[in-house]
Structure formats: structure tokens, C-alpha cells
Amino acid sequence: MGAGKSTLGPVLAERLGRPSVSTDAVVEERAGATVPEIFELRGEAEFRAREEEAALDVLARSQLAVIELGGGALGSSRTRDALAERAFTVHLETSPEEAWERVARTDRPLVRDADAFRSLYEQRRPLYEAADASATDLDGVLLAAAGIRFGSHRAVEAEALVADACVAELHAVPATHTVPRGEAAKTVAEAELLWRALRLDRTSRIAAVGGGSTTDVAGFVAATYLRGIDWIAVPSTLVGQVDAAIGGKVGIDLPEGKNLVGAFHWPVATVIDTALLETLPDEERRNGLAEVVKTGLLLGEPVWERDTTAQVRSCAAFKAAICLRDPRELGDRTQLNLGHTFAHALEAASGYAVPHGRAVALGLVAALRLSGLEDGVRVVEDVLAPTPVAVDRDAAWAALQRDKKARDGEIRLVLLEALGRPRVTSEIEPERVRAALDAVIA
């Protein structure tokens, strides 16, 4: 008690697009009395029986939900068994001092004095070790729920380790297979080389260490090899850590367009080691910063002003929440393509010679101009300083029309009504879209 579950639970549920359920509230509704009243009139044993019944009923429901369990709920072995079978459980960590400060002046039945409270804390703490993960704040819970953790890439174990050849050399990664750097890795030919070289069974795992292109192709191979095996993403670039390696979208490119062949195959873990960013060339860091700016525009917060670790954590948690509530990009997840319709067109028209970050920066400018948000354009220009690229205009336009978001031949764009308020629309006239694209081509 006092960890902040009642405050965080509803906010977490909103971020995940799921209902918020409190077992204490269920008990109170069924009993027609508050928790303190049940304790006073019927005793703790009666409350625990009702709490167990409520928890088991809530956990038996088929609808996904965020469930807030009371501090003593894990005292029930039946509840623990149901959690292990039905739920992903997060222990919201706090110190006994902080928790006591929050509850000392409340009417909670088990709040008597600080010494008794600490004793109860120590008594219950071993039960919480059965949780699938621990966290201290909202972003921490979102990251845990998405299987994202911060740690050393050297602790990752897998039967096959696919790495960017350059990263493998720089960081002495014991790769079993290597792929070229950048978009050159995301080809049918490279995927075929991996398929034919692998000697795995369905219990095996593939780990991918590298930038977004490496995790894309390795994740795609994992999704298709033996009809799908587990994989672990270990992004080594800022683009990968804030965006590309999160959410389970994997794929390869075709000459006609980027990511036209792919799958949704969520990694069993995403391990973020920010030490890998220390060797990033400036151009790669700028590529990642473009995705940071995109996320900040969607959030409506200046994420780009934070230090690198804070940028990664905020952006990864934001994308994790969206992907958890829309894992197959049928709704909200589309907003993550802000600027990318234009960016992918520029990349395809250049034969993927234009760096991803530069393309995204220009794509953001185009999308923000169509949105009528000059403040956003100024942010992109001040932080990323993009300059138009020299690509074939007709080729770029043809690639944009093949964008995977298009429906019935209509171009669908992600725009912003205001900072932090994205919308998806197909109501922009093609002539205006073409003009916005042409404006970012030299």
C-alpha cells in the first residue's frame, strides 16, 4: 500500500487503451461497504476472502485490462496461481519510508504506526518477487510490459546471433552471422542467406545486434523461419533504441518501396544498451535524433532537449504504449508514421542512398507544412537543420503513392492538429501532397 497503484493504474490503462480495474473497488461494490468498514465490521479474514474472490473473477475475464491489486492480495496462493497463468504482473516498487509518508494520515485498516508498517512491508516483500517485472514509474511499467529492458548487450544469449558487420567488429560481438550495414541488409538476398545458413529448431532463438535495418531483417527471418521462432532485439543505434527495434514490425525492402514485405513478430525481449551509442558516427546520431523529434511532436513534449538516456527511455516507452494497444497497426499505431510517408518516398527514389534521419526530417517538414504548424517546422529546422535532397521527383511521387498506408488508391497522411494531437487523413488533395514533396527535393 502507498506504492502509487491507484494513481498510476488509471493512467496506465488510458495509455494502453484498456479498462482500469481495482480489486478493492470490486470488493466494495459487491459488499456495499468500504474496505475500512469491512475490516471493522467483519474482520480481515472476511476481507481477504472477498479480495481473493474478486481477483479470481477479474483475472478470469477475457477482456484485456489493467488490474490494480491490493497490497496484501498476493497472500492468497490461488491469486498467485491465477496471476502466473493469466497476467503479466508488475511490482510497483517503493520504499517503506515513502509509502508510509503517503498512507500515514489515511483511514487504511492496516496503518497503525511506522514500526508495524515497516514490519508488514518486510513480511510482504518476498511475495512480490514473483512478479514478472518491477518498475518505479509509468514509463518503467510500459517498458516492462513491452519486454524492454536496459542492460548490457553481452548478457544476451541466443543460438544464432545476427549482427551488423561493423558493429560486430567495433564491439567484439561474437556473431554467428553478419549482415551489411544499413538498408543493404534489408533485401530478399540477405534474408535468403540467413534462412539457408541457419541450423535451428523451433525452441531456438535469434538475437539481432545492430541498427534498425539489422533488427528488421533478423526479425523478419525469425518470423518466417520454421514458421516463426523467438528473437531478441539488441539495437545499437539511436534510431533502433527509440523506434525501429520496438513494437515487432519487421521486414525487408523492394526496389519499388521500403518495408513492402514484412510481418508483425514481437521480440521476446528488447535489450537497450546505451553504451553501444558511444561509437555512433555523427550522421547516425542525427538519424536517431530525427525520430526523437518525431516522438516529441507526437507527445507534445520537447523530448529532444533531454539527455540521451532520458530521450531513449521516454521515446521507447511512448512507442511501447502505442504498440501494445495497437500491435498490428490497425488504428493508433499509424501515428508513428508522422513524416515517414514522405521520408520513405525520398529514400526509395534515392535507391536508399539518402540517410533515414535526413529523409525523416524532411518528411516532418512536409507533413507539418500540410498541417499548418509553422511552430513545428521551426523545431525541426532548428534541431535537425534538414536540407532538400536531390532525387528524381517522379520516382519519389511514384514511391509515395505505393505507401503501405494508402487505401483504395487514396494517399493517407499522418498530420498534426496541434503538437501532441496527431490525426490520419486522406482528405489532402494530391496536388498539395505532391507540392509538399517537391518542396523538400532539391
Question: Does pLDDT of 258 surpass 90?
Answer: no
- How far is CA 43 from each of CA 38, 46, 110, 115, rounded to the nearest angstrom? 6, 6, 11, 22
Mean pLDDT of 135-144: 97
C-alpha cell at 265: 513478430
Q: Which residues pair with 231 in a beta bridge?
A: 206
C-alpha distances in angstroms, 183 versus 15, 159, 218? 32, 25, 13
Architecture of domain 150-280: 3-Layer(aba) Sandwich (3.40)
Give residue 182's identity as a one-letter amino acid code: G
Q: Are 293 and 379 in contact (CB under 8 A)?
A: yes
Rounded average pLDDT over 156-164: 97
**One-letter identity of residue 105:** R
**What is the residue type of 336?**
L
Tens-place pLDDT, residues 281-304:
998 999 999 999 999 999 999 999
- The 3-state DSSP class for residue 38 equals helix
Cα 400 from Cα 433, distance rounded (Å):
10
Q: From CA 19, how far away is CA 63, in angstroms rounded?
A: 9
pLDDT reported for residue 110: 86
Contact by Cβ (8 Å): 51, 28: no
pLDDT value at 404 more than 70: no
- What SS3 string covers 176-221? CEEECCHHHHCCHHHHHHHHHHCCCCCCCEEEEEECHHHHHHHHHH
From the CB of residue 29, how many other CB atoms can be counted at a distance below 10 Å? 11
Q: Is the pLDDT of residue 9 over 90?
A: yes
Inform me whether the pLDDT recorded for 272 exceeds 90. yes
Whole-number pLDDT of residue 369: 97
Which one is predicted more confidently, 389 or 408? 389
Would you identify the CATH topology of the domain 5-145?
A: Rossmann fold (3.40.50)
pLDDT attached to residue 255: 86
Q: What is the pLDDT of residue 108?
A: 85
Only one residue has cell 517537391, namely: 438
Angle between helices 340-349 and 393-401 (to 10 degrees): 130
User: What percentage of the chain reaches a pLDDT higher than 90?
Assistant: 89
pLDDT tops 90 at residue 138:
yes
**Nearest Cα to Cα of residue 175 among 190, 191, 162:** 162
Which residues, at least 6 apart from 299, have a Cβ–Cβ distance to it below 8 Å? 314, 318, 420
Structure letter (DSSP) for residue 73: G
Phi, psi (deg, nearest 5) at residue 246: -110, 130
Question: Residue 117 gets which letter from DSSP?
Answer: H
Is residue 308 scored above 90 in pLDDT?
yes
Closest among 265, 249, 253, 272 to 150, alpha carbons compared: 272
CA dihedral 147, 151, 157, 163 (to 10 degrees): 100
CATH of 286-442, one of 3.40.50.720, 3.40.50.920, 1.20.1090.10, 1.10.10.10: 1.20.1090.10
Please state whether the predicted TM-score (pTM) of the whole model is above 0.85. Answer: yes
**Minimum mean pLDDT among 83-87, 171-175, 198-202, 327-331: which range?**
327-331
Q: How far apart are CA 225 and CA 218, in angstroms?
A: 10
Question: Which residues, 6+ apart, have CB-to-CB distance to 102 below 8 Å?
Answer: 2, 4
Domain positions in the chain: 5-145, 150-280, 286-442
Paired with 415 in beta bridges are: 423
Alpha-carbon distances of 373 from 246, 324, 369, 418, rounded to whole Å: 28, 29, 6, 7
Distance CA 22, CA 35 (A): 12
With cell 516529441, the residue in question is 296
Q: How would residue 105 be classed by pLDDT, with cut points 50, 70 and 90? A: confident
Phi first, then psi: give them for residue 21, nearest 5 degrees: -125, 130
Per-residue pLDDT of 21-44, as tens digits, reads 999 999 999 999 999 999 999 999
Give the mean model confidence (pLDDT) for residues 172-182: 96
Q: Which residues contact 384 (CB under 8 A, 6 or more apart)?
A: 286, 289, 290, 293, 357, 361, 364
Q: CATH topology of 5-145 equal to that of 286-442?
A: no
Percentage with pLDDT > 70 across the chain: 99
CB under 8 Å to 374, separation ≥6 — which residues?
368
Residue labelled with grid coordinates 567484439: 172
